[in-house]
Structure 1
């Protein structure tokens, strides 16, 4: 009775069995494996050149079109914001090319939108100012932002 024996494994580095694999068995949906290009690093990367922006090249000279308590400069906007605040935030988001998700899924949508409006139109201020104003004077800040968006159609 003759038995068929498997050939002995081939030994590679340091006596470990060396496996041979059939590349056709490891293709994905019929796509053949292709060799990858190897890039050899011969020099360490250097620090990126720093770019300094001087204030004269990036001025923020503007102020808001109306003051924080200037709600009654645009009475229609004031009434719509008082009665339909969240809807007016969605309108403002669309004017700023933002998704309505900004209004629905952020914790401080008014602060986020006010900061973006300020940056879009180059209005002086800081994020800290925006946070304080929207926290303590939310409806007035929203009216001010809506008034700004209604009267500043084109970007600078």
Structure 2
């Protein structure tokens, strides 16, 4: 008589403990001064690097240099996407204002948020059935 061995892996459980607010304010550059200096002095390079860290195409922010117009569409869409992905409260109106009048500060805030929320996943309550 043959017996079967059944092995079942524990399933990961992800507990979200993040706030529904931005981790830093739009003008909190002193939280990471080297990053903000990089963002201020070389915004296209900084925006491309931040976009890549967020999982988007590396060169997508460069489209604003060529097709920007009055409202920078890439910066605004990245802010909106980040708010939705991380569950951050806000409005498209404020995203538009920050993207239009504070582009460098907006990219710096997004970079700080990615770094703050990019934590390794820890298994919680993994158990055998």
Moved over 4 A (4+): none
Please report the RMSD computed on the Cα atoms of aligned residues, expressed in angstroms: 2.2
Higher helix share: 2
Summarize deviations over 1:86-130 as a string: whole Å, max 9, x none. Answer: 111111111121113421235322111111111111110111110
Shift of 1:155: 9.2
**Residue aligning to 2:11:** none
2:43 corresponds to 1:85: yes
- Give 1 or 2 for the bigger CA radius of gyration: 1
Task: Decide which of 12, 17, 24 is 1:66's aligned counterpart.
Answer: 24
Matches within 5 A, 1:1-156: 62-106=20-64, 107=68, 108-154=73-119
Gaps of 5+ in 2: 1-17, 122-129
Which protein, 1 or 2, shows the higher relative CO under an 8 Å CA cutoff with sep ≥ 6? 2
Q: Distance in 2 between matches of 1:142 and 1:111?
A: 10
Return 5+ residue gaps in structure 1 as ranges: 1-59
